[in-house]
Amino acid sequence: MLTSITVENFRGIERLHVEGLGRVNLIIGRNDSGKTALMEALLLARDPRNAIDILTARQRMRVASTNNADLADFDEFWLPIFHRMDALAGFRIHSTSFADRPSTLAVAKEPVDGPMTIDGVRASVVTPAWTLKATVTGGRHETTSVIDQTATGEKLPTAQTNIPSRWISPSPVIGSEDIRAFSKLKQQGRDEAVTELLRYVNDQISGVELLAPTGNRVSVYVRLRREGLVPLLMMGEGMKRYFEFAVSFAATDGASIHIDEIENGLHHSVMEPLWAWISRATQAKFAQVFATTHSEECVQAASRVFKAQNDVGLRVIRLDKQEHETRAVVYDRDLVEAAERMGVEIRG
């Protein structure tokens, strides 16, 4: 479990240090404060040896709605990762955790001289060659991975054994990763945890099924005691998000779960049951959660639930963007409760 992180020159963050991370971390702040960038940095800190693969996946998600999804185009695809688009200076993420030694991830573009060639012959279409290098240091050990752009295409690094992590963003569809994970849970007879969480939204749910009515595509259905089988997507954004949360927790022990805009699509009446479930699930599954929110109501609901459960694992991290750094103020459960009593809004 991560306990601290320092981020330098990553996306919109010039410098940020967060000390005292908890088991459940709720990140708040203004729209330009760097909440999602911090969550991405935490994802990289959790599994730095697969940094190139993680960055590739995150960039593809960010640019999916544009025409800039070609990772061969360094300026369009990769440059936005770096603060002020300075890829040669690169970015650096230092982290500490309970289980491992402190580690530092440094990612930068390596200068490459000369045009690209194929077997010594200059390519007919000259495209600037580039190399993106990721270096991880921890204790006396150092590992390096690179992604190269050559005349024959991109050369990706060999994937290392990955540390379990999940990223959940608001989306109109259920992703194939969630369907595969739920299918595995069904095969193992461990899908009741998903049904349990969905019952917080609708107590008539008796089960969740995977069906392919047309034979072409598998869809998620919920079984209602009165109506029978109903497509999950017909039951609203909140139900879909609860399904994603539940699958992420149930699928893997010891995972790092990153939830962007956790309150999105959820009615205020289900916030406290959700936090109660997260409190229990993170302890049972040895998981660490990072979530962003714009909602003060979401923050206060979390505080009330963690107090009621006598759970000290909650941290609320407020980001304030300043001239040359982003300042992080970390509140524990008691400080959030004190702010609520005094009528002080902490979300920034």
Q: Report the C-alpha gap between 90 and 258 in whole angstroms.
A: 24
What pTM did the predictor assign? 0.89
290 backbone φψ class: left, alpha, beta (φ>0; ψ -120 to 50): beta
Q: Which residues pair with 145 in a beta bridge?
A: 134
Scanning 112-158, the segments in alpha helix (DSSP H) are none
Give pLDDT, residue 320. Answer: 95
Give pLDDT, residue 66. Answer: 59
Give pLDDT, residue 309. Answer: 94
Tell me the backbone φ, ψ of residue 227, rounded to 5 degrees. -90, -15
Using the 8-state DSSP alphabet, how is residue 82 labeled? B
Contact (Cβ atoms closer than 8 angstroms) between residue 91 and residue 8: yes
Q: Over the chain (348 residues), what is each successive 10-residue block's mean pLDDT?
A: 97 97 96 95 95 92 70 89 96 93 95 58 58 89 83 64 85 90 94 89 92 89 94 90 92 91 89 93 94 93 94 95 93 81 64
Contact (Cβ atoms closer than 8 angstroms) between residue 321 and residue 30: yes
Token readout for 188 is: 């193992």
Contact (Cβ atoms closer than 8 angstroms) between residue 346 and residue 314: no
Contact (Cβ atoms closer than 8 angstroms) between residue 104 and residue 111: no
Delimit the domains of the chain by residue range. 2-22+29-155, 165-202+235-313+323-341
Q: What is the CA radius of gyration of the chain?
A: 22
Q: Report the C-alpha gap between 156 and 145 in whole angstroms.
A: 9
Whole-number Cα distances in Å, 340 to 30, 88, 257, 346: 19, 45, 27, 9
**Side-chain half-sphere CA neighbours of 139 within 13 A:** 3
Q: Report the C-alpha gap between 318 and 230 in whole angstroms.
A: 40
Q: Report the C-alpha gap between 153 and 159 in whole angstroms.
A: 18
Give pLDDT, residue 126. Answer: 47
Q: Report the C-alpha gap between 342 and 337 in whole angstroms.
A: 9
